[in-house]
Structure 1
Amino acid sequence: MHSMAAGQYVIFRLDEQLYGADIAVVREVSYLAPVTRLPNTPHFVEGVIDLRGEVMPVIDLRKRLGLPSRPADGDSRIMILTVGGVTAALVVDGVEQVATIADEAVSLPDDSLTVVGQDYVYGVARMNGRLVVLIDLSRMLSIAVA
């Protein structure tokens, strides 16, 4: 019997596409803070920010996933992730809501699905008629900072 457990996801936006990240990984959502640039970092690492005394790398999720970069605007947010003792801030185009998505609403991505970040996509769900791509940010982060 398949459990009807529902997962909670932070729904965020890159361009017009909605993504969902497991809320267990997302510690908080915040506004973009001033970024201190660092030399010799991967192209997708914008630098570091100081969030209430905690310094952490800032990863531009657009660049990390191969989208063209875009200047931040009033909708831009950072999602603070903590994975295995590593904390990082991911810049996204917007954060929509926290939503509960039932397991049975999630299907495996098929070959026709072409979205950025494909390697980290583990499912797709329909929410209010829109496709939400579920992305494993913890796996991406552990690779990004390794």
Structure 2
Amino acid sequence: MAEASQYVIFRMDDQLYGADIAVVREVSYRTPVTRLPNAPHYVEGVIDLRGEVMPIIDLRKRLGLPGRPADGDTRIMVLSAGGITAAVIVDGVEQVISIDADTIAQPDSSVAVAGQDYVYGVARMDGRLVVLIDLSRLLSIAVA
């Protein structure tokens, strides 16, 4: 039997995404953003989260999804990978689940999905497909 890994399941529109829990340091509510001049369009600015200042990335913009106003479900996920810490804005966070490696299917390269450069697999959860996304790769490219 293949080894299981833990994933944080989050939502962008009606699509579920999964991120390796090793990259997600915490989930929090939105905090005030300080805008930065000349930042890439997907970088909202920086936030001060309990004394730690970090960039905040609008994941909708980074994945090429249409904009949407924040609501009561909107969360930020603080990511840490490769010595980089940043926050991403997501539409909502659902749960943490274990997914067996042998149940992850490789995405079909002929199907175009938002953020497909960061997609490394698809898994099933309660009859729904979860797109597994490499947030550490996204983080290293977005903040570099």
User: Would the TM-score normalized by the shorter structure come out above 0.5?
Assistant: yes
For structure 1, the residue ranges without an aligned partner over 5 or more in a row are none
**Deviation beyond 6 Å, 4+ runs, structure 1:** none
Q: Share of identical aligned residues, percent?
A: 76
Aligned-pair distance for 1:136?
Answer: 0.4
Matched residues in 2 for 1:76 and 1:91: separation? Answer: 7
1:89 aligned partner:
87
Q: How does 1:111-122 map to 2 (within 5 A)?
A: 111-122=109-120
Q: SS at the partner of 2:139?
A: helix
Q: SS at the partner of 1:138?
A: helix
1:57-96 deviation line (CA, Å, top 9, x unaligned): 0000000011111111000000000111111000000000
Say whether residues 1:50 and 2:48 are aligned partners: yes
Question: Which deviates more from structure 2 when the two are superposed, residues 17-26 or residues 3-12?
Answer: 3-12
- Given candidates 66, 69, 75, the residue that maps to 1:77 is 75
Q: SS at the partner of 1:142?
A: helix
Letter in structure 2 aligned against 1:16: D
- Cα RMSD of the aligned pairs, angstroms, is 0.9
For structure 2, the residue ranges without an aligned partner over 5 or more in a row are none
- TM-score w.r.t. structure 2 length? 0.97
- Given candidates 131, 134, 138, the residue that maps to 1:140 is 138
Q: SS at the partner of 1:97?
A: strand
Q: SS at the partner of 1:63?
A: helix
- TM-score w.r.t. structure 1 length? 0.96
Aligned length: 144
Letter in structure 1 aligned against 2:118: Y
